Amino acid sequence: MPYLLLVTLLWAFSFSLIGEYLSGQVDDDFAVLSRVALAALVFLPLARFRGLSLPLTGGLMLLGALQFGVTYLCLYRSFAYLTVPEVLLFTITTPLYVALLDDALHRRFAPVALLAAALAVLGAGVIRYDGITGDFLLGFLLLQVANAAFAAGQVGYKHLLLRHPIEVPAYRIFFYFFLGALLVAAPSFAVFGDPSLMPSSGLQWGVLVWLGLAASGLGLYLWNQGARVVDGGTLAVMNNLLVPAGLLVNLLLWERDADLLRLAVGGGVIVAALWINARFSRYAVLGTGRPA
């Protein structure tokens, strides 16, 4: 779980940077493509190209296409149909997808993990709910695709390496993850990208480099390594811990308005969900060690 906590803080900071310097100013497809390309370049010199099975490399590419490519492209497009509070609200269902997919791949039903995931959704809802507009169905569906794709990527990565153990460090194979994402992001930019909305300042380029190298490259790698050593319930709840963390960072750095009571209550519910899963789930694994 230490990896998941570290990445939560990293993404909380990065989320604020996107809102301040990129959203509505830089083409979404280009932002996604640049993040994928930079992350792929980080892992390219470390990549192993021999001795890996086709199911392993193909699986990694598929998971990268889902967890990064499909997720972010659907997420960015949802802003055309939803208000910002609605986008934030509809992303909180990810823990349910994580818990259900993990159970399905284990061929079991873990009610405590599902309860913890539902509590994490409730806690995030307490923090984020701010009403919805009437015309939101397409945006809602886009976000559910994004949530399910992100859940499938992280849960699938864990199960892929369980079924195809590797004899090398995980960073030697992670290039294939970003290669899969690149195969989604590049065609999307070629078809839908707007060349008139390229970064126009050194600061925007700097934010994109940070997002590509740190938030996407290091962040997704560490998040997926953390996912390998915790149970599905813990992983599900951790997906929504970003909600209070992101709002708190935004409040501290840019002094944005926030309902501190709702933040405290919702955050408390999410922490309680972690405790319930750790205390009562027979499958609970907090993952304090390092992944193999």
Q: pLDDT tens digits for 11-58?
A: 877 777 776 788 778 998 999 999 999 999 999 999 998 888 999 999
Compute the distance between CA of residue 133 and CA of residue 119 in angstroms, rounded to an integer. Answer: 25
Cα first-last separation, the chain: 14
Provide the whole-model pTM: 0.84
pLDDT digits (tens, 9 = 90+) for 196-251: 999 989 999 999 999 999 999 999 999 999 998 888 888 888 887 777 776 777 67
Query: Of 142, 141, 132, nearest to 76 (Cα)?
Result: 142
Q: How confident is the model over 257-263, as a mean pLDDT? A: 69
Q: Is the dihedral angle over the CA atoms 66, 72, 77, 83 positive or is it negative?
A: positive
Q: What is residue 200's three-state secondary structure?
A: coil
Q: Report d(CA 104, CA 156) in Å as an integer.
A: 11
The single residue listed with the structure tokens 């055309």 is 80
Provide the 3-class DSSP secondary structure of residue 141.
helix
Distance from C-alpha of 98 to C-alpha of 118, rounded to nearest angstrom? 11
Cβ-proximal residues to 254 (8 Å cutoff; 6+ apart), any chain: 16, 20
